[in-house]
Amino acid sequence: MLKRIVFGFITLLLMAGIASGQDVQFTAQAKPVVALGETFTLIYTLNAQGSGFRGPAVSGFEMLSGPNMSTNSSIRSVNGRTTMSITYTYTYLLQATREGTYDIPAATVNVGGKQYNSNTVNIKVVKNPNVPSGQGAAGQNRASGGAAAVTGSSNDVYVKAFASNASPLQGEGIVVTYKIFTKVPIAQINISKLSSFSGFWSQNLMKENDKLQQTTQVIDGEQYVVADIRKIALFPLKSGRLVIDPLELACVAQLKRQTKTRTGDPFFDDFFNDSFFNSGVANVEKTLKSNPLVITVRPLPDEGKPADFSGAVGNFTFHSEVDKTRLKTNEAVTLKCTISGKGNIQLIDKMNVIFPPDFEGYDPKVTSDIQTTAAGISGNQVFEYLMIPRKPGKFKIKPITFSYFDLDKKHYVTLTSPEFSLDVEKGSGEAASMVTYAGANKEDIKYIGSDIHHIRDASFRLKMAGSRFFLSTGFWLMLLMPLLLFVIFLVLWRKLAARRSNTVLMKNLKATKIARKRLQRAEEFKKSGNQDDFYIAISQALWGYLSDKFSINLSGLSIDSVQEALVKQNVNGSIIDQFVETLNNTEFARFAPGEKTVNMERIYNEALEIISKMERELR
């Protein structure tokens, strides 16, 4: 066992040394000459581990699939010398659609924080000698005498996006549905590019393992099979004209194929060319693209808007309670506020709670129970506030208000909790006790110093008989000390008040703390396998960090505004690229197919790493 460990360690050292010593090579290759209608491969080869691969913009060719990544590694030992090679390949499957000479531009990839560009590829598309004159790329599947012909049209299968409401209010939820329409059998549906929802808070309404529910629909006199492939709930964060980019996917369609027999006799040609004798199908890969959607978001009315309104839109109920009304000093009491209903409930992140004087309060523990259905999002948010009284007496918790815009009533509604009265008695051993707190649960509260203190055995200090303290130097110092302390306290208090009034500074200082709390919540969801809440927490951590750090409203955040803000702060370009890539990877992994456990672990590590790097960069 020890030999295996030593051998493995030496092998890893050898691999690391070889990888660090070799030059990074990133090359592209393809056939220099292809025939019209011919399918060929475009291959990018990288001899190091890279990230952020960006393919070229291809024109003159139809992209059938890609990029498809693969890895190949080998270790050779010749005459006692060991060599190792690792190759990463990114492969595209292309089809020539027009004659001419085309330059495929360079692709880019990041290796070790540095961007590398591949070479350009020159491809000449010539006429297929096997196709008679007058036939283009679309006709190359048909032969002049007995070859197979694939029949089909652009309306055989297509994808279309629908919005439940094209003119919602700001914060009002809408549902965007992507439907696939087909007249022919299809298989292997694979989403290659997800729509981006800039200016929206999004939530997937369809689980990955959900079976596609199929229906039939007659369109322009032809019968289609229709299925929902994606259903997204969107909540607009700002008003104005917002555009949802198209969704792209690939699938394999079965199209009819027939052979035409030419005998010279019209009777025999019609007889043998009948579909009864020569019908068949051909599997053809199709690339589909949905239509873009334009959503015109109306602003919420200013008339009647409450001062504590924080953006909640929908139909909600509000309930609050305390777990006890009689308690002793240093004993915890919990105030529980519950918001239930349908709407943008996940965007409600705090309550307006004012703690009584002589009470120590803590940040709330937030628990979400959200249900996503085809009709939208509903559920409840629970805020648990822990309070600890430090002095005895009778205290009151002032009524808590929660305001939202009611979509049914078309006006603002304010819900108010009752006033809670607390009777705090003096606890036993109050002077000798101290409470420590380390979390949001009452189990985390510990009492220390509740035992009898040890007898102090220090030496006594004697003083001369007849000496007095009154009018002595110490007397005057003690008399002036409170005034001096008051002046110092007043100066510090004003500085602290000015600092707290600077909301931009306070948000900046708390940005990292809040982001780490959200990452801790994401880690809990990751351990429990709660995928949807995990990606929501990661997204809140990344976007919320940027919002607090640069004092940008969430509604104004986008990839472009993020890059512009980071460039103004002189952040390293590689860190900016990594942050943007982490944002894109989070949104893609949230909906993309694949091993969710691996994706969750990778996305969590990327988010934690880039926030730490960003914090060090901005110090």
Q: Pick from 67, 116, 109: which is nearest to 92 by CA?
A: 67
SS (H, E, C) 302-321: CCCCCCCCCCCEEEEEEEEE
In the three-class reduction of DSSP (H, G, I as helix; E, B as strand; rest coil), residue 616 is classed as helix
In the three-class reduction of DSSP (H, G, I as helix; E, B as strand; rest coil), residue 527 is classed as helix
Give the C-alpha separation, 474 to 477, whole Å: 5
pLDDT at 151: 54
Give residue for tokens 């909301």.
Answer: 503
Name the pTM for this structure: 0.47
Q: Does domain 503-618 have CATH number 1.10.4160?
A: no
In the three-class reduction of DSSP (H, G, I as helix; E, B as strand; rest coil), residue 427 is classed as coil
Give the C-alpha separation, 587 to 538, whole Å: 10
pLDDT at 156: 85
pLDDT at 313: 93
pLDDT at 113: 84
CA dist 272 → 152, 276, 374 (Å)? 21, 9, 51
CB-CB neighbours of 516 under 10 Å: 16
- 447, 430 contact by CB (below 8 A): no
pLDDT at 441: 47
Task: Supply the DSSP string of 559-592, one letter for each residue.
Answer: HHHHHHHHHHTT--HHHHHHHHHHHHHHHHHHHS
In the three-class reduction of DSSP (H, G, I as helix; E, B as strand; rest coil), residue 46 is classed as strand
Q: For residue range 488-531, what is the model confidence (pLDDT) as tens digits?
A: 988 888 877 766 555 545 555 566 777 788 888 888 888 888 87
DSSP state of 169: B
Helix (H) or strand (E) holding 398: none
> Same CATH topology for 314-448 and 503-618?
no
Question: What is the CATH architecture of 2-137?
Answer: Sandwich (2.60)
pLDDT at 507: 53
Helix (H) or strand (E) holding 532: helix 531-550
CA dist 5 → 1, 2, 9, 432 (Å)? 6, 5, 6, 56
Q: For residue range 552-568, what is the model confidence (pLDDT) as tens digits?
A: 766 666 777 777 877 88
Q: What are phi and psi of 124, to 5 degrees?
A: -105, 125
CA dist 558 → 250, 338, 563, 576 (Å)? 28, 32, 9, 13
Q: Pick from 127, 160, 128, 165: which is nearest to 147 by CA?
A: 128
Q: Using omega within 30 degrees of 0 as the cis cutoff, is the peptide bond preceding 67 cis?
A: yes
Give residue for tokens 């492939």.
Answer: 229
Which one-letter amino acid corresponds to residue 594? G
Q: Distance of alpha carbon 176 from its chain centroid, rounded? A: 18
Q: Which spans in 273-349 are helix H?
A: 275-278
Domain parsing of the chain, residue ranges: 2-137, 149-297, 314-448, 503-618
How much of the chain exceeds pLDDT 70, in percent?
73
Question: What is the CATH architecture of 314-448?
Answer: Sandwich (2.60)
Q: For residue range 260-293, what is the model confidence (pLDDT) as tens digits?
A: 545 455 544 554 455 444 445 677 888 899 999 9
Length of the chain: 619
Positions of the chain with pLDDT under 50: 1-3, 6-7, 10-21, 130-149, 259, 261, 263, 267-268, 271-272, 275-279, 430-454, 504
